[in-house]
């Protein structure tokens, strides 16, 4: 499922796509991203929805959960997205186990945040993700 937030982008530091299949976690990330001055351009709960929203909105960065509903996960979605748009992927995952992190690292992530999220760290990582972007 996908949601387009429809927020304006005039004053935002950057545009963020949030992908997680759990609404309450999306909401946490959205509220803190917006508190740090970023705009949530869309949200998605599936890999297919993430690809669709990313291509449509071309976000500056993506907060990407790894485990998603359906056959494909967040890493599959990120690989697909990075083939067609220039964006930075920040993985947000509950799995700190070696195999998951190793698989994420194969996709050259911009950063990996482990749940539960430190809001201040989220803000710092988002700020860094904007460095060098127009």
Partner 1 sequence: MTDQALRQTEQQLEVALQAARMGTWAIDLVTNELTTSELCRKDYGWPPSQPMTYDDLLGLIHPDDRKMRVDLIRRAFAARDDLEVEYRVNRPDGEMVWILVRGRADYLEDGTPVRAQGVSLDITDRKRAEERQRGLVAELNHRVKNTLAIVQSLALHTHRTTDNPVAFMEALNARVRALAKAHDLLTENSWEGALLKEVIGRTLAPYATETGANRRIDVGGPAVRLNPETAVVLNMAFHELVTNAAKYGALSVPGGAVSVTWTVEDEASPMPIEIEWVETGGPPVQPPTRRGFGSHVLEAGLAHELGGKVTMDFQSRGFVCRMRYALSDRMRVAGP
Question: Least separation, in Å, of the C-beta of 85 and partner 1?
Answer: 22
List C-alpha distances in Å: 44 to 73, 96, 113, 120: 12, 22, 18, 23
Instruction: Considering the complex, state which of residue 56 and residue 114 has its C-beta at the smaller distance from partner 1.
Output: 114
Instruction: Write the burial class of residue 50 (CB in 10 Å: 0-12 exposed, 13-18 middle, 19+ buried).
Output: buried
Instruction: Considering the complex, state which of residue 9 and residue 70 has its C-beta at the smaller distance from partner 1.
Output: 70
Question: Least separation, in Å, of the C-beta of 58 and partner 1?
Answer: 21
Instruction: Write the burial class of residue 107 (CB in 10 Å: 0-12 exposed, 13-18 middle, 19+ buried).
Output: middle
Nearest 5°: CA angle at 29, between 50 and 134?
70
Contact 87, 52 (CB under 8 A): no
Instruction: Considering the complex, state which of residue 124 and residue 133 has its C-beta at the smaller distance from partner 1.
Output: 124
* Residue ranges that bind partner 1, judged by CB under 8 A: 1, 3, 21-28, 31-32, 43, 45, 67, 69-70, 94-97, 114-117
Instruction: Considering the complex, state which of residue 84 and residue 96 has its C-beta at the smaller distance from partner 1.
Output: 96
Question: Least separation, in Å, of the C-beta of 86 and partner 1?
Answer: 26
Question: Least separation, in Å, of the C-beta of 83 and partner 1?
Answer: 26
């Amino acid at each position: 499922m996908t949601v387009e937030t429809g927020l304006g982008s005039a004053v935002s530091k950057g545009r963020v796509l949030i992908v997680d299949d759990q609404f309450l976690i999306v909401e946490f990330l959205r509220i803190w991203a917006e508190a740090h001055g970023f705009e949530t351009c869309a949200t998605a709960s599936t890999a297919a929805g993430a690809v669709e929203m990313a291509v449509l909105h071309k976000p500056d960065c993506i907060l990407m959960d790894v485990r998603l509903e359906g056959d494909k996960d967040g890493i599959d979605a990120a690989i697909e997205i990075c083939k067609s748009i220039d964006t930075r992927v920040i993985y947000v995952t509950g799995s700190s186990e070696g195999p998951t992190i190793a698989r994420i690292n194969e996709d050259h992530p911009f950063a990996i945040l482990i749940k539960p999220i430190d809001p201040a760290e989220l803000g710092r990582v988002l700020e860094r993700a904007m460095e060098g972007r127009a």
